Amino acid sequence: MLRVGYPAILAAELFSDFPAEVELIALPDDLEQEIEIEVWIPDPYPTKAMRIWPRLHGVRLVLSLMAGTEWIPGTVGPRVTICNARGAHNISTAEWTVSTILATLKHLPFYHDVQRGGVWKRRFEASADYARITGDARPLYPPVMLEELTGKRVLLVGYGAIGKEIERMLAPFDVKFKRVARSARDGVHAVSELDSLLPQAEIVILILPSTAESHHLIGSRQLALMRQGALLVNAARGPVVDTDALVAALNSGRIRAALDVTDPEPLPEGHPLWSCPNLLLTPHVAGSSPQFAPRAVRTAVDELRRYLAGEPLRNVVQAAV
């Protein structure tokens, strides 16, 4: 039997479709005894997973329930194969991205403040806010109360599975896409072209992994290249953006941002990012829908069936050496 360890906190029914050749071993957060397993499904929260790792022996394959696996190689070492849950976050993260874009363009955070204040006439403040952030000072009448997504120019920085899902969801708005990935291919620009593409975009979406190459990919120079009032959406990883540079750009009134990830993370109380204007911030929740766990476990089931059959695994991010 193939011994597979999984977080005991997950509902047992999630694992009902696992192959009959698998012996499932529930691993509690406070694991004290030594456990021999061949396959490890770690807790989605790294601190919990790393706490029990020293008590696990014989692990040859790690099946992460998350798309991001940055902490795993340094924990398990190079002799373990690591697979991520590519595809598990696609829908929820893409929906978060579309939602925050619409919320920003429709000025929903402002209107929520109006609702809480209970003053109807404050709605006219939206016109001044629009003129300030976009630089469009034309005497528009009737007054501008919100903006439209349809027809906007969107730059997708990262064009993997989630990036393609975001594109699919935005396509009905008839937006104009430019795509960026590590290397150029048909319809996709290389990341080396990023600086030349930023000034053209009204919405810049970051959905790429955190690597040495992507660290601070968006810094002071890139933020300065963005057009007045452009919206930066980070659904990737916090370190992709230089936080100090972002705080300065937001406070200057040049750009807007929607963030689900930050650097540092968790974002400490009192951090200047919390109080920045023109910012919609959520605390790393974009993938956390009720459908996430079942979807992530299904990716693990698929990998296990392949592993048992001796077939190539789909989502390898580190092959054992």
Does one domain contain both 303 and 253? no
Helix-helix angle 90-105:161-170, to 10 degrees: 40
**Tokens (6 digits) for 58:** 């014989």
**pTM exceeds 0.75 for this model:** yes
> Active-site positions?
237, 265, 284
Residue 264 shares a structural domain with residue 213:
yes
Cα dihedral 113, 114, 118, 120 in deg (nearest 10): 180
For residue 38, being part of any structural domain is answered with yes
Helix, strand, coil % over all residues of the chain, rounded to 5: 40, 20, 45
Residue 295 and residue 232 in one domain:
no
Q: What is the pLDDT of residue 210?
A: 87
User: 93-152 pLDDT, tens per residue?
Assistant: 999 999 999 999 999 999 999 999 999 999 999 999 999 999 998 989 999 999 999 999
- CATH of residue 295's domain is 3.40.50.720
- At 226-271, the pLDDT tens digits run 999 999 999 999 999 999 999 999 999 999 999 999 999 999 999 9
Average the pLDDT over 160-180 and give the result.
97
CA 69 to chain CA centroid, Å, is 13
CA–CA gap between residue 113 and residue 105 (Å, rounded)? 16
Q: 282-313: buried (b, 16+ CB within 10 Å) or exposed (e) per residue?
A: bebebbbeeebbebbbebbbbbbeebeeeeeb
Give the whole-angstrom CA distance, residue 205 versus residue 163.
Answer: 9
Peptide bond preceding 139 in cis form (omega within 30 of 0): no
> Could you give the number of structural domains in the chain?
2
Q: Please say if the pLDDT value at position 68 is more than 90.
A: no
**CA geometry: angle 311, 315, 1, nearest 5 deg:** 50
Alpha carbon 161 to chain centroid, angstroms: 12
Residue 13 lies in a domain: yes
Q: Please report which residue ranges of the chain form alpha helices under DSSP H.
A: 46-52, 72-76, 90-105, 108-117, 125-134, 161-170, 194-197, 220-225, 243-251, 292-309
**How far is C-alpha 105 from the chain's CA centre?**
20
Query: How far apart (Å, rounded) are the C-alpha atoms in residues 3 and 23?
Result: 5
pLDDT tens-place string over residues 3-52 = 999 999 999 899 999 999 999 999 999 999 999 999 999 999 999 999 99
Q: Is residue 114 part of a domain?
A: no
C-alpha span between 87 and 203 (Å, rounded) = 24
Radius of gyration for the chain, computed over Cα atoms and rounded to the nearest angstrom: 22
Q: Per the structure block, which two tokens stand in for 7? A: 């977080």
Contact 194, 180 (CB under 8 A): yes
Q: What DSSP string describes 113-156? A: HHHHHT-GGGGGHHHHHHHHHH------SSPP-----TT-EEEE
The answer to whether 289 touches 53, Cβ cutoff 8 Å, is no
Side-chain half-sphere exposure of 146, counting CA atoms within 13 A: 14
Do 249 and 312 belong to one domain?
no
* Pair (250, 310) in one structural domain: no
Do residues 57 and 100 both lie within one domain? no
Residue 172 has pLDDT above 90, yes or no: yes
254 in the same domain as 160: yes
Indicate whether 276 and 313 sit together in one domain.
Answer: no
- The structure tokens listed for 186 are 């048909």
- The answer to whether residue 131 sits within a structural domain is no
Structural domain includes residue 132:
no
| Predicted confidence (pLDDT) per residue in 270-305, tens digit | 999 999 999 999 999 999 999 999 999 999 999 999
Quick one: pLDDT at residue 198? 98
Is pLDDT at 314 greater than 90 in this prediction? Answer: yes
pLDDT in tens, 72-90: 999 999 999 999 999 899 9
Q: Based on the domain organization, do 157 and 260 belong to the same domain?
A: yes
* Domain encompassing residue 302: 2-88+289-318
In a domain, 246, yes or no: yes
Same domain (yes/no): 206, 101: yes
Residues 98 and 226 in one domain: yes
- Using one digit for the tens of pLDDT, what is the confidence trace for 175-221? 999 999 999 999 999 999 999 999 999 999 999 988 899 999 999 99
Domain co-membership, 153 together with 82: no
pLDDT of residue 67: 87
